[in-house]
Chain A
Amino acid sequence: MTQKEGLMSVFDGKEIGLMEAVNRLFDLFTEVKQEATWKRVFGDPQTYGDTTLIPIASVSYGVGLGIGQQEPTEEAEGSQGAGGGSGVMSRPIAIIEVTPTKTVVRPVIDYTRVIIAGLLTLAWIAFLWANVIRKLVRSHEPA
């Protein structure tokens, strides 16, 4: 990859080429991905007496960025801009309970989400069948 002259940027306090800056930022993405190990999903075991509990969660995260720079020309001044964002979401899924005699998975259910989804489904079904019933009533009406 060639380095364009004049397109310089500051990264980690050092002045470097913009292309190199972009490449370094992209390498950070790869590092983030390599850190995606099982340890993010399975929490540290917690022991209470004879019982050990292991919390389990589903984790998802994303990062995005855009960067651009334009060299100054005779007609226009040079410009540069950059933007980025990231987000992380984590939800508990289950707890593994380990006792001297047994090991079981205790699921964790998010009732708020389930109830909201249930109400939306019920509203959708009521809306659909109300239309069907209306058509049935109309078809049986004398002309």
Chain B
Amino acid sequence: MVTLKFGPWKYQIARGEKLNLGTCQMSPLVRVLSFTRRRLTVGQDDVSGAGVQWVSLMPIAMLVEQPGTRRLLLIGDRTRWIIWALGAIGVVSCLVAGVAGRRAQ
């Protein structure tokens, strides 16, 4: 659906096949982030190669179609959100304590 490329990085939003659950139909949306790099070096008497590939798949949403209704269910990684929020609190606290420490001197 959506593909963005930046050097070895690739960002994709892909839509999966429709799931038929009888009472409703669902279409999943997934974010795919990948990093691919391969390198071959040919010298006078030697040859060498190296390659790295990393792929991260994260569900984004599920499009639910029920008779008469159609809605998008967002899927969030709550654990990551909480950890990021705690990290943000740590950074803000660091800045505030820095300012307070300078004023105290």
Q: Taking beta carbons and an 8 Å cutoff, which residues of A are in contact with B?
A: 1-2, 4, 7, 18-19, 22-23, 25-26, 29-30, 32-33, 36-42, 45, 52, 54, 56-71, 73, 91, 93-94, 96, 98, 100, 103-105, 107-110, 113-114, 117-118, 120-121, 124-125, 128-129, 131-132, 135-136, 139
Contacts and interface: CB of A to CB of B under 8 A. Distances in A.
Task: Determine chain A's interface SS by DSSP, over half rule.
Answer: mixed
Interface of B: 14-17, 19, 21, 23-24, 26, 28, 30, 32, 34, 36, 38, 40, 42, 45-59, 62, 64, 66, 73-79, 82-83, 86-87, 89-90, 93-94, 97, 100-101, 104-105
A67 B73 CA distance: 46
A19 B50 CA distance: 11
Given A18-B47, A29-B36, A45-B21, A117 B54 contact: no
B83 to A, nearest CB: 5
Contacts of A139: 104-105
